[in-house]
Amino acid sequence: MKRTAFFISDGTGITAETLGQSLLSQFENIEFIKLIRPYVDTVEKARNMVQQINAAAERDGERPIIFDTVVNREIRAELASCNGYMIDIFATFLAPLEQELGDGSSYSVGKSHSIQHNHHYQDRIDAVHFAMDNDDGARTQQYDNADIILVGVSRCGKTPTCIYLALQYGIRAANYPLTEDDMERLQLPPALKQHKEKLFGLTIEPERLASIREQRRPNSRYASFAQCEFEVREVENLFRRENISYVNSTTFSVEEISAKILVQMGIERRLK
């Protein structure tokens, strides 16, 4: 069974998309064709959307599901004329919130993802540059400014996690790959030792690690199961010995790994 879902907004569409995806993910038996339609900010564009929705309804033989965060009433009225099942996110929650907060909503478009509303926007951009400059142990002299330093074997997921922490939360995340040298020395390199309270470990199943490394350097010792198994075991020993908290990244997304890290380290995310 196929159903089309539209995520429609007069801004970026991120809120409609995030909520819509969450809700639709609960229906496992249905295959959805998902279409994001940001910047539907004129009645004319809304009219065009209505045509797209009605065409999808005809094609599917079922009306599409519409997740809509349009703020403007005229545009919303135009959209409402479509042959879709409307989930009007703002209409559902704003009126009761106005009553609870005893204050009127500004009904302004796209505030949530604008620079103006986002007090920490520059922190997030600076953190992205920080994460890129401090990727893969390239430098250690900026560790004084790091909020967190991710450690683990090569290719266990450190880089995307740092980038996510930086971009979403403005957290200055560096990462340092632990190598065989570090393992043989049986202790942390000095650059890490002096920032021990910022360290967080990532680990991974050796099978998964070998398959990731195989894509990068086929048939290498680096990608062999024996090597991966050795490195993972040694690094986990190191984490335990040095009392470094760690997460196994094998079955988790960067979103999940990041949320777990922040909970475990007790870092409060910087919100707008």
Does 198 show up as a binding residue in the annotation?
Answer: no
- Beta-bridged to residue 192, according to DSSP, are none
| 3-state SS, residue 19 | helix
Q: Which residue has the tokens 């740092």?
A: 162
d(CA 155, CA 148): 18
Does 137 show up as a binding residue in the annotation?
Answer: no
Cβ 187 to a copy of itself shortest distance, Å: 30
Does 221 show up as a binding residue in the annotation?
Answer: no
| 3-state SS, residue 255 | helix
The side-by-side arrangement of strands in the sheet containing 148-152 is 173-177, 148-152, 199-203, 246-248
Between 107 and 196, name the residue whose CB sits nearer to a copy of itself: 107
Does 18 show up as a binding residue in the annotation?
Answer: no
Cβ 139 to a copy of itself shortest distance, Å: 15
Cβ 28 to a copy of itself shortest distance, Å: 5
Between 31 and 184, name the residue whose CB sits nearer to a copy of itself: 31
Largest CA distance in the chain: 70
Phi, psi of 140, deg, nearest 5: -125, -5
Cβ 185 to a copy of itself shortest distance, Å: 28
Between 157 and 206, name the residue whose CB sits nearer to a copy of itself: 157
Between 33 and 226, name the residue whose CB sits nearer to a copy of itself: 33
Does 240 show up as a binding residue in the annotation?
Answer: no
Binding residues: 152-159
Binding residues for ADP: 152-159
